[in-house]
Amino acid sequence: MNAPHVPLSLLDLVSISEDMSTREAIGASMAGAQAADRLGYERYWFAEHHNTDALASSATSLLIDRAASMTQRIRVGSGGIMLPNHSPLAVIEQFGTLVQFHGDRIDLGLGRAPGTDQLTAQLLARTSAEPQAFVAAVEQMRDWSRTESTGGLPISAAVARGTEVPMWILGSTANGARLAAQLGLPFSVASHFAPFQYLQALTTYRDNFNPRAESAQIDTPRTMVGVNLVVAETDEEAQRHFSTLQQMFLGVITGQRQKIQPPRPIDEVAASHLVQQVDQTLSIRAVGSPTTVVRQLEEIVAATGADELILTAYYYDPADRIKGLELLADAWGLGA
């Protein structure tokens, strides 16, 4: 008898397709959250990105509030809040308020990257990205969310008190994994765009996990692995849609970013060495028919020991994205 499938979650960067307005992109994102809620996905997270015309996921907590207001069951959260851009007190007050609005459906995923270019990061910067400063900020937020604060600062975050907001640490390397382990918090590895150290990061996290940390929220390691996803009726159709994601990352590599482009043969767009570089970056992926994608996801779970997968699904047409999510939910047995 086959082992039960792990939960599947979704990461949304609120992508803006060519000829689509920002308002339309946000509306499409909310429709995606509603579909995920209906179909049985575990959580729906929004990333934080700035200074790009292709993504509308800059005001993460506002997107979370909107999506949670339009769904019933699914957990909604950040994947993640880039802590160097914010003060810890402001973050925990925002997420405490979200818990007051929506109850125990809110996740606070935290990262150390700025989610943008260096100049924009300087304009946003509120907290040091140095490891020990990051750890101290997370510990402060955990303390402010407890019923009884044990910290030394004569400051309270009343709206967050007692909410115990569930936290995750995001990372792509062994360094980030070690921080998650030190804090005793779940770890989500960004293998969907940083695949080169992800297995080492997972091992480092599990080997160093400290359930006795003052900030700990779990007793044993818990891991989530990022995967690029494109599902369609056939393998050929999925590969065609995958070219949209390839074009997006081609823009990242070449510095010629543009809005999300319609599918087209990638060899018409880029030289073979660039396509190879893109495909290496996107190597942790499941692309194909439902049967193909289920097999690929099962292989990733077997290779990583992941407790959960978090999927990024870029399509030019939002209707194709929802269709793909429906196909996968049925094939994976979500909600069964």
Residue 194: CB atoms within 10 A of its CB come to: 18
For residue 138, the Cα-to-chain-centroid distance in whole angstroms is 18
Considering the domain 8-231+287-332 in this protein, what is its CATH number?
Answer: 3.20.20.30
168: β partners: 109
| Angle, alpha carbons 318-50-73 (nearest 5°) | 50
Q: Are 71 and 103 in contact (CB under 8 A)?
A: no
Residue 165, pLDDT score: 96
129-155 average pLDDT score:
85
52-67 average pLDDT score:
96
Q: Which of 79-93, 220-234, 300-314 has the lowest mean pLDDT?
A: 79-93
239-256 average pLDDT score:
93
Q: Are 31 and 318 in contact (CB under 8 A)?
A: yes
The percentage of the chain sitting over the pLDDT mark of 70, rounded to a whole number, equals 95
DSSP secondary structure, 136-179, as one string: HHHHHHHHHHSSS---SSS---TTTTT----EEEEESSHHHHHH
Structural domain spans, the chain: 8-231+287-332
pLDDT band for position 115 (50/70/90)?
Answer: low
Predicted confidence (pLDDT) at residue 56 exceeds the cutoff of 90: yes
Predicted confidence (pLDDT) at residue 278 exceeds the cutoff of 50: yes
Dihedral angle at the C-alpha atoms of 297, 229, 241, 282, nearest 10 degrees? -100
Residue 149, pLDDT score: 75
Q: Is the pTM of this model over 0.85?
A: yes
Residue 1, pLDDT score: 38
pLDDT band for position 3 (50/70/90)?
Answer: low
Predicted confidence (pLDDT) at residue 121 exceeds the cutoff of 80: no
Q: Are 73 and 37 in contact (CB under 8 A)?
A: yes
CA distances from 58 to 66, 163, 226, 306 (A): 14, 24, 20, 28
